[in-house]
Structure 1
């Protein structure tokens, strides 16, 4: 018979900063140990373990989501991509490893220091030349890009994992920049499961603050005729939007 300590250990995710919404922690661990970790590139493992030591590690993309993004980009033959919200660069590295040698990623984040924490690992992996990093708010950059017609429909894939209160503002601009048939991925669209929590549920302050913005985004995406959508319970929830017009 399992002891209380063993039961507690088996019901706790071992990955630091985990975001899985699976009801069974053991099942999530099985996915990681069977499918993700054995195939995880050494550079991604190194960056994941480095990020786990950071005080804000909850912000990182989960390992299973990193694997999903890497395969998705290969499946759609992505070459020109964008990432809004970089942190230490785990999802950015997953993207860079998936792109061809001449692939490009425009990466934006308000904090260069976090990006530079992971940059040596990205450089060692030999993919830093694919990345153009811009420090600062993304909206002013996107506004300038939208003004130039040559940027319209220029991106195969765009990944957004940044300030949830601006997701709809990003969408208004990104829909112009992604190509017809291209994808936009919005991260955290299930937001710690809070999207189905009752109004009086005891939620962490930041979860409660951003919940309404996530709910508003999900409602807007579902009603947008310019896209097809697929919401997946990977990580903290990711909604893929395929531009159709």
Structure 2
């Protein structure tokens, strides 16, 4: 859930009536979510992923991290489509990035874009320990200008097998309009947080944290856009905070 928020926003006083915002799943049952983690996710989690998850959990902005079950899904998707050239927008400490790098073949590459190298550096020792740092090309800066740079070279268009977007929600639609040109036909784009803690289904006057309300409209907007975009097939899953998978068909 990489949303570029401040610690003060997370600690806002507005009540949330439907569930704890810190929960890494939309499942209403903590017991059921923990069952999934303890039975199917944690026993197969790479030791370096666990170490990175533990370190990230202690960070004041840990809400931005990709959940372990979603990381497992990303790894499976990358292997299923035999991805070799991938792009990630929004890195934070790098849990999803490490999931990707571990899933890629030895000659696979992931281009990782984030506005903060500081957070990426927290996870870098685990990435190096896992022996996959050579697969990662990290670039610091605003993603939209970096994407524009990629698009200026015609050779980059239609070359990415998989794109994962987990960054500022107010730019999701702008990201889509660019990455749709970068992903190949038959390739996959994943947008994280598309159910936005369930707030997308709540009435406008429902109580919610301020940062949830601030970005809610953008998430609803991109959901509507993806649903009618004839260039893609979509599947929206209630994994983590919601992930929408888009397969480019045209």
Same fold (TM over 0.5): yes
Q: Which moved more, 1:170-179 or 1:16-25?
A: 16-25
CA RMSD in angstroms, aligned pairs only: 1.2
Aligned-residue offset at 1:145: 1.2
Q: Tell me, in whole angstroms, the C-alpha distance in 2 between the residues paired with 1:145 and 1:40.
A: 33
Alignment map for 1:79-158 (pairs within 5 Å): 79-158=84-163
The secondary structure found in structure 1 opposite 2:186 is: strand
Q: Deviations over 1:126-149 (max 9, x none)?
A: 000000000110100111211211
Q: Tell me, in whole angstroms, the C-alpha distance in 1 between the residues paired with 2:214 and 2:22.
A: 20
Aligned-residue offset at 1:119: 0.1
Q: Tell me, in whole angstroms, the C-alpha distance in 1 between the residues paired with 2:178 and 2:44.
A: 35
* Normalised TM-score (structure 2): 0.91
Aligned-residue offset at 1:19: 2.1
The secondary structure found in structure 2 opposite 1:213 is: helix
The secondary structure found in structure 2 opposite 1:108 is: strand
Alignment map for 1:21-32 (pairs within 5 Å): 21-32=26-37
Aligned with residue 41 of structure 1, among 25, 28, 46: 46
Aligned-residue offset at 1:200: 0.8
The secondary structure found in structure 2 opposite 1:77 is: coil
1:58 paired residue number: 63
Aligned-residue offset at 1:24: 1.0
- Judging changes above 3 Å, is the alpha-carbon distance between structure 1 residues 92 and 17 closer, same or farther for their aligned structure 2 residues? farther
The secondary structure found in structure 2 opposite 1:31 is: helix
Aligned with residue 196 of structure 1, among 184, 201, 218: 201
The secondary structure found in structure 1 opposite 2:106 is: coil
Q: Deviations over 1:181-214 (max 9, x none)?
A: 0000000000010001111111100000000000
Aligned-residue offset at 1:17: 4.4
Q: Deviations over 1:157-183 (max 9, x none)?
A: 000000000000000000000000000
Query: Can you give the 5+ residue segments of structure 2 that lack an aligned partner in the other structure?
Result: 1-18
Alignment map for 1:201-212 (pairs within 5 Å): 201-212=206-217
Aligned-residue offset at 1:18: 3.3
Query: Can you give the 5+ residue segments of structure 1 that lack an aligned partner in the other structure?
Result: 1-11
Q: Tell me, in whole angstroms, the C-alpha distance in 1 between the residues paired with 2:24 and 2:129.
A: 27
Query: Paired residues, what number?
Result: 232
- CA contact 1:228–1:244 (8 Å) conserved in 2: yes
Aligned with residue 77 of structure 1, among 61, 78, 82: 82
* Normalised TM-score (structure 1): 0.93
Q: Tell me, in whole angstroms, the C-alpha distance in 2 between the residues paired with 1:124 and 1:223.
A: 43
- Between 1 and 2, higher relative CO (CA 8 Å, sep ≥ 6) is seen in 2
2:229 paired residue number: 224
